[in-house]
Amino acid sequence: MTEAPIVSIKDLNVHLGTSHILHSVSLDITPGEVVALLGTNGSGKSTLVRALTSIIPSTSGRIELFGHRPGPKVPWHRVGYVPQRVTAQSGITASSCEVVASGLLFGRRIRLPKNAMDQAHKALALVHLEDRVHQPLNSMSGGQQQRVLIARALVRNPDLLILDEPVAGVDQPSQEAFAATLTNLVKQGRTIIVVLHELGELEPLITRTVVLRHGRIVHDGPALRATTQHAGPDHEHIHPHDGFVELSSALLPEMGVDQ
């Protein structure tokens, strides 16, 4: 018997202003899949995950998470979301532990649980930042800040983890730490959606690749391996250098809650 999809997208269209970004996108993701969304800048990858998490509205089509349309019936505590990399110049003065603990606030919850800091410490240990729990976020490198945001998503112990270019522009130690963290999550059977330009060190973990071009899915199947990714004449070798957002903005959108 086929498992019901955790994520179901049918004929999704998204407009931003006068631009038609996503064109009739349909996609089902079942429990335990590790799906890479690939494509060049402007292909619609980030727009897709932002629509999925209700950060931006869809124009038409249908989105379901855990069998529910976006809204109060969705068990948002089962979803972890990591936005694109933040700038190191962010003005957030809270400690990394405080930022991670804030991930336990969602929906109507306005107070942290009593064990919030213990949970935050454990989440920081997952991304190998247990020695920086009291360090102010604005004194960290960009790669360290991104790992804090990943810990913030993990503190909920989510069943579905959505990551938007998590290793874009971060240093090699941060990339290796992230790959190790993701490996453990995959072993636990988590469902993961990750937006990437290239598979890189995450290649062994990816079970399925979905390639977008001009807002349309042009490939959906088994993971594309390095031989086809780099050797082919049509490969567009792109490394991300833009699209970063301020940390203060990245922490504002909570799934299903308007800013």
pLDDT tens, 153-207? 999 889 999 999 887 777 777 778 788 888 888 898 899 999 998 888 888 899 9
Rounded mean pLDDT, 207-214: 96
In a domain, 128, yes or no: yes
Token pair of 217 as six digits: 């899915």
Q: Domain span at residue 19?
A: 7-222
Flag whether 243 is in a domain: no
Contact (CB, 8 A) for 61 and 11: yes
Q: Is the per-residue pLDDT at 58 higher than 80? A: yes
Burial of 137 (0-12, 13-18, 19+ CB in 10 A): buried
Domain containing residue 140: CATH number: 3.40.50.300
Dihedral pair phi/psi, residue 230, rounded to 5°: -110, -30
Per the confidence metrics, is the pTM higher than 0.95? Answer: no
Number of domains making up the chain: 1
Q: How far apart are CA 87 and CA 152, in angstroms?
A: 17
CA distance 135 to 93: 9
Mean per-residue pLDDT, 41-54: 94
> How confident is residue 86, by pLDDT bands cut at 50, 70 and 90?
low
What local confidence, expressed as pLDDT, does residue 214 receive? 96
The mean of the pLDDT values for the chain is: 82
